[in-house]
Structure 1
């Protein structure tokens, strides 16, 4: 089995790297003729850093960015604080790092694993049958694969050729994006300035520069192709954020029209959609790149299981069932944030009182934090599995003792395989998993798991497939058969 990934952005690179590491033949087709230095995306949230940690990549990326521990909204002189110091994670912050650096890290990985990236390969045709998918490109190539994944952005050719709807709408207000140096430093935080004429979001790069994302009512009808200069950015920020916030230098700028859209389906036969090809939304929350990388982490191991011949019948369909609701939720929260940032006049009058009242409630602040970071994502129990109380929940990076040595769970779970963790004294769960050792890692350890579980079957994307306190051998074997197929030693 082979896979073609269309698009060499963060989503496509993450997916291709995972597939190659699992031994799946994979090729990337990229419309661009050279590597991108795009800087539109600039944030990596905690759950995405955890997924990179599961691949041994997080620390290298963290070293290149700046750790931002909070959001500080400014509303007419009132400054609020939304804490992002996640106690649940090894990454208690949002990492600010240019998209180009994230792409470069993921590109080095795919090259190290021998993945071919074909540049200048614009997909113009797609057909599929019972045996595979055929792609054609503008330069006359024809490529055949068992599966294709469209990671080719908001204007996805794969999605268009599939005939999949992209439901939603465009926002009325044009967004200004710019990298600026200011006349004074701001707190080490994501700094939204909310005024009557719009909202300006200022995020530090850590070197004296800030990414400015500006919704300015007075500039809403300016054509997208009109150049955006320093005077316009300076004027917008002064009117929205106050005269004390001055732009002294600009190195990059653009306008774009934000959209709120989602693909009606993420799977059509042997073809899948992920990243911006599946969902686009307001940049408020900076969730786009992180959501796409999470799509890739969810799909990659399922395609690898299909390649190895033991994927349950329902497994590939679970990509739609798990990630489509996550994409829908991302659209809803970013839409809500944009409506609060650029509301009609009646809401603007009460906004300075409404926001503190809401964010001052610990339960609401916690929900916002877990939603933005991705740490609150949980998946439904798939049909065809018996489930358990922990099934579908994110697995924290547990501190464990293995053979007398301290180890982190995310280190033990690297390699893209299921992990069967046995924390019992008798090792019964580990013994039950022995026949599956070709497909899973089996680890006996000392430590404490959520809900007091002594056995955890951890999916390759860091979510629980099965977990229980002192399960019997039959329960463990049933979970392994449901998720990992019949044991190789007894398969017919």
Structure 2
């Protein structure tokens, strides 16, 4: 069978290719560039724990080296600290801040080691044709040729050629916010802590009095973002240098500390959402499908979650034949998650950026607004919480014996320690992304006994038989505990780590029905089907 064609060798395209290769699906990544990325320290991304775990799982590389885990976070208004957070435990893991070229480099290195991933440099897409059996793409450049694929996924950014060739509308708002950005090496009063400073005292008037955000990077480097007033005023190098010196002097409360300016730029935030994310065998992901980023939200992280959601569904279709309901659910789930975040930002923007008026006189309103804005940066609240698929078309209905745990159906599961089928102790997150459903039994006390003593005891044999009978490959795991779950609770988890449902005990018929719904209804013939993994790209 023909490989999946991925256009765009940025973080989203490379993540998707690696996720598919992990499930034995060959991929060709069409890279319009020369195969390497320009170092831009001022172009960075903040990743929360789920996204960090996804990249580390796919690459086998820790991101803590090229990236920086924040030691803490503080919000300030004028001279007052309005919020302080210390990171360091599993309950509230620290975000990771990393330069985008460093992230891409880690993913490129992993792709170079992956036998099922081929990167075609200097290959700019200029044509796509699709039939019921596959997709044909044409590229121009030194290696211009025709490529044959089973599916094609456009991960080619805001100006996506794939989106334009499929005549997909991309409505939204332009220049929602603008920031002047600088990356510099210096010492700040808050080592390894990120900072949101609103209304700094050294800027007491004017439309640009607003705010500055400082985020640490490794080796003493910081990214600083200054919110710019609305409009298209030119940001000159002189203005940026003045802003750097003014800010550093204000924080040092005196003489300007030594600094080395590494990179500068202007970051303009747009909010757009593609009308469709799928046209037959052609799909969109990342910035090709959506743009967001106001109020501390992170568009690139959402693109990585697009890849995680799509990979297991596309792999199932590649191995066992198209399943339309399952592939359609990618657009329905991810588009709904992005739309909810865009709505939250649009609703809060007037409140947080409007200023003046009655709100200026309401006691505590400024502190509340600061908290809302910090939530976007920290991954909390309506602006920052990870997307949930509670309204998914894959959600099962009419099941008996369902119980509630701390994780709502459709939300990402907690990363608890589990015992795998071979008796080893692993993290639940480590078992994701292999294309298998996960069935987790909550059984207190099993961690202190050898597996051979409990694997044939109690409800385990009946549960193991039920798992074997499921309509798709599944892995049975055992956990000592799970937040909000009683003993003998059984969790069903999707390959991308979102909870399907939880049962109070072993219920084979309901477990089967839930698994079948997760596959999009009537499951395709997945067991015993011939798997073809040797396909590679060819020219026509």
Q: TM-score range by the shorter chain?
A: 0.7 to 0.9
Counterpart of 1:475? 510
Counterpart of 1:407? 426
Deviation for aligned residue 1:435: 4.0
Deviation for aligned residue 1:16: 0.3
Q: Distance in 1 between matches of 2:354 and 2:9?
A: 36
Counterpart of 1:290? 301
Of 55, 72, 75, 2:74 maps to: 72
Q: Distance in 2 between matches of 1:329 and 1:433?
A: 35
Change (3 A) 1:368 1:271: same
**Retained in 1: the 8 A contact 2:329–2:393?**
yes
Q: Distance in 2 between matches of 1:252 and 1:488?
A: 51
Of 202, 209, 220, 2:214 maps to: 202
Q: Distance in 1 between matches of 2:17 and 2:361?
A: 48
**Retained in 2: the 8 A contact 1:183–1:246?**
no
Q: Distance in 2 between matches of 1:112 and 1:244?
A: 51
Q: Distance in 2 between matches of 1:183 and 1:473?
A: 60
Counterpart of 1:112? 113
Q: Deviations over 1:431-478 (max 9, x none)?
A: 112145973223355444643362222211111223211132211222
Deviation for aligned residue 1:105: 1.7
Structure 1 vs Structure 2 CA RMSD: 3.6
Q: Distance in 2 between matches of 1:285 and 1:266?
A: 25
Q: Distance in 2 between matches of 1:392 and 1:86?
A: 27
Counterpart of 1:323? 334
Counterparts of residues 9-28 of structure 1 (less than 5 Å): 9-28=10-29
Counterpart of 1:176? 180
Q: TM-score, normalising length from structure 1?
A: 0.86
Moved more, 19-28 or 279-288: 279-288
Q: Distance in 1 between matches of 2:211 and 2:322?
A: 48
Counterpart of 1:234? 244
Q: Distance in 2 between matches of 1:15 and 1:175?
A: 30
**Retained in 1: the 8 A contact 2:473–2:527?**
no
Match of 1:42, SS state, is strand
Counterpart of 1:222? 233
User: Unaligned 5+ residue runs, structure 1?
Assistant: none
Deviation for aligned residue 1:233: 3.5
Q: Deviations over 1:295-316 (max 9, x none)?
A: 1000011000101116644111
Q: Deviations over 1:28-79 (max 9, x none)?
A: 011112311344123111221233355474x611233221154322212222
Change (3 A) 1:482 1:343: closer
Change (3 A) 1:371 1:417: farther
Q: Deviations over 1:225-269 (max 9, x none)?
A: x55775243266479979659473211011243211121222222
Counterparts of residues 33-52 of structure 1 (less than 5 Å): 33-36=34-37, 37-39=39-41, 40-52=43-55
1:395 aligns with 2:413: yes
Deviation for aligned residue 1:143: 1.8
Deviation for aligned residue 1:398: 1.6
Change (3 A) 1:94 1:303: same
Q: Distance in 2 between matches of 1:52 and 1:109?
A: 10
Change (3 A) 1:333 1:391: closer
1:158 aligns with 2:157: no
Counterpart of 1:462? 497
Q: Distance in 2 between matches of 1:199 and 1:351?
A: 20
Change (3 A) 1:383 1:480: closer
Deviation for aligned residue 1:290: 1.2
**Retained in 2: the 8 A contact 1:46–1:374?**
no
Question: Between Structure 1 and Structure 2, how many residues are aligned?
Answer: 486
Q: Distance in 2 between matches of 1:379 and 1:269?
A: 25
Counterpart of 2:96? 95
Deviation for aligned residue 1:97: 1.7
Counterpart of 2:123? 121
